[in-house]
Amino acid sequence: MSVATDAFARALDTLAAQPQVPANRPPAFDVFGPTPASASPDAAALTDLPPTGRIAQLTSALTAGTVTSEQLVRDALELIAAENDELTAFVEVHAAEALAVAAERDLQRATGQVLGPLHGLPVSVKDVIDVGGMTTRCGSDAYEEHPEADAAAVALLRAAGAIVLGKTATHEFALGVTSPQSRNPHDRTRIPGGSSGGSAVAVTTGMSVVSLGTDTRASIRVPAALCGIVGMRPTYGTSPTKGMVPLSWTMDTTALLAPTVADVAVSMDVIRPGVAPVASAVGAPVGTLRVGIPRAAWEDATPVVDAAVDAALARLDGLVADVEELRRPNAADFAAGNALGLVVSRSEAAAFHRAAGLDRSLYWDEVRDQLDAADDVLAIDYIDAQRSRAALHAEMREVFELVDVLAMPTTPVQAPPAEDAEEYLTLLSRNAILWSFVGFPAISIPCPVPDGELPVGLQLVAAPGGEATLIALASALTAGPDPGP
């Protein structure tokens, strides 16, 4: 039995053991509320940047004329040419088009036509999200589409002035958290995490300033933790998914990876029109916040992860109003989120893949095993998983009546060796999936680690709509010098 098949069998056992929910409890796909409209905002109105972060630093240099957008793109392309063969960050690059757009952005800036906060900055897009004129392959030999139009989130990035360099590598169809074809820039014998692994590599190396990815279960936060950058998943339904190849319709979320909390905040405002901006929360006071510590999230944490996260949390003393250990979420909550999230997400994925009629013999073995197992899930099991999801959502909301933020390790281990990647399919995502399953916003920020150690991530979680609170606390915990040019 493969790791994927075994995980599915255990997930169904967990579902069968769930506490009985009221018979009239509706499924969870309608409890989060409607998705906001995704019409383009006035991106130029979002140009009041936080004073820190890579975006602010580069924008200042562009404004001063000490660098041009064309030079930023050339620098990024040189990095891609030098490092991509070994790291596999990008799977498709459109150099000539990016340079042409950069020249246009420079001319616009010279004439006072700044489009928005990402004007003239190179970005990348995960290869499950459509970019007009580029190929969407989803990391698979079985899938190839040539969309003419941008996905909604990509169109918003462009409207804010961003320059799309190309598509980044993904775990096949985003159905995993390892991205085994890519390598971690901190140790090239190890994985970057996934499924937005190529995006994490691109941001970590400076190949792109920001990368647009997805986080259906854990696909932004895991690679952020393993690569030592910032990754944020917003509240379910607040970022547009139109133009994204679906994994799970009731869990899919577009999300962002960037070097700093400020960069994520600025970019989040760009892709979430109609939602209250969060960039202004960078550096905001956090003295009234109550932070909860669910010790169940430390299960299986290695000594290095344990020490790094605890050291990061030590900074909370005197910074926030209160820090307390909580009984919930407990080990059963994390287990339920993982198991039921697997049933829901893989059942919905199997429905898409059956409709797509693709040749599964071309799929990766562990991806095919997941979908084959999901094909046999009964409709009643799927509905019961969704009903239990609704109950878990309500129970986790009650936790946030006691605290404002939860803090825990993003992953219990650091980046695993590439040859062992499949063994970590469930462990890497264990602390992240619960929050995706119930639709809560979460952010992973890097913890300080001793020289020579691989990155460790700290995950902060808030109740739905709590993105500004997360940005405020995350920026306070990571306050320090900006990254160099």
Is 475 assigned a catalytic role? no
Distance separating alpha carbons of residues 48 and 289, to the nearest angstrom: 26
pLDDT, tens digit (0-9, with 9 covering 90-100), for 411-455:
999 999 999 999 998 999 999 999 999 999 999 999 999 999 999
Distance separating alpha carbons of residues 218 and 442, to the nearest angstrom: 10
Distance separating alpha carbons of residues 423 and 150, to the nearest angstrom: 36
Is 124 assigned a catalytic role? no
Sequence-distant (6+) residues with CB within 8 A of 143 are: 136, 137, 173, 245, 356, 358
Is the pLDDT at 44 greater than 80? The verdict is: no
β-partners of residue 213 are 255
pLDDT, tens digit (0-9, with 9 covering 90-100), for 199-257:
999 999 999 999 999 999 999 999 999 999 999 999 999 999 999 999 999 999 999 99
In percent, the amount of the chain with pLDDT more than 70 equals 93
311 residue type, one letter: A
Q: What is the 3-state secondary structure (H, E, C) of 46-66?
A: HCCCCCCCHHHHHHHHHHHCC
User: Which member of 38, 69, 124, 126 is catalytic?
Assistant: 126
β-partners of residue 291 are 323, 405
Band (pLDDT 50/70/90 cuts) for residue 9 is confident
Q: What is the mean pLDDT of the chain?
A: 93
Is the pLDDT at 37 greater than 60? The verdict is: no
Strand segments (E) across 170-274: 210-214, 230-233, 254-258
Kind of pairing, strands 290-294 and 322-326? Answer: parallel
End-to-end Cα separation, the chain, in angstroms: 49
Distance separating alpha carbons of residues 1 and 414, to the nearest angstrom: 26
User: Which member of 182, 211, 219, 388 is catalytic?
Assistant: 219
Distance separating alpha carbons of residues 192 and 274, to the nearest angstrom: 33
280's tokens: 């202004």
Sequence-distant (6+) residues with CB within 8 A of 233 are: 215, 220, 221, 253, 255, 435, 436, 441, 442, 443
CA atoms within 13 A on the CB side of 448: 10
Q: Which of 41-45, 300-304, 307-311 has the lowest mean pLDDT?
A: 41-45
Band (pLDDT 50/70/90 cuts) for residue 48 is low
Is the pLDDT at 39 greater than 60? The verdict is: no
Please, what sign has the CA dihedral across residues 407, 174, 347, 423? Answer: negative
* Long-range pairs, 16-23, Cβ under 8 A, ≥24: 18/336, 18/340, 18/384, 18/388, 19/391, 21/387, 21/388, 21/390, 21/391
Q: What angle do CA 84, 157, 201 make, to 5 degrees?
A: 25
User: Which member of 124, 195, 196, 429 is catalytic?
Assistant: 195
Q: Which range scores top for mean pLDDT: 37-46, 128-137, 271-280?
A: 128-137
Instruction: Yes or no: say if 269 and 246 are a contact pair by the CB < 8 Å rule.
Output: no
pLDDT, tens digit (0-9, with 9 covering 90-100), for 172-208:
999 999 999 999 999 999 999 999 999 999 999 999 9
260 dihedral zone (left: phi>0; alpha: psi -120 to 50; beta): beta
β-partners of residue 446 are 457
Is the pLDDT at 31 greater than 60? The verdict is: no
Nearest to 474 by CA among 217, 259, 157: 259
What are the angstrom distances between the C-alpha of 11 and each of 111, 184, 229, 332?
A: 58, 30, 31, 12
pLDDT of amino acid 55: 97
Distance separating alpha carbons of residues 470 and 463, to the nearest angstrom: 10
In percent, the amount of the chain with pLDDT more than 90 equals 87
Question: Which fold, 3-477?
Answer: Amidase signature (AS) enzymes (3.90.1300)
What are the angstrom distances between the C-alpha of 361 and each of 367, 368, 369, 372, 424?
A: 11, 8, 11, 11, 23
pLDDT of amino acid 10: 81
Is 195 assigned a catalytic role? yes
Band (pLDDT 50/70/90 cuts) for residue 35 is very low
β-partners of residue 457 are 446
Is the pLDDT at 36 greater than 60? The verdict is: no
282's tokens: 């960078």
Band (pLDDT 50/70/90 cuts) for residue 40 is very low
Spans of all domains in the chain: 3-477
Q: What is the 3-state secondary structure (H, E, C) of 277-313?
A: CCHHHCCCCCCCCEEEEEHHHHCCCCHHHHHHHHHHH
**If you average pLDDT over residues 123-141, what whole number do you get?**
98
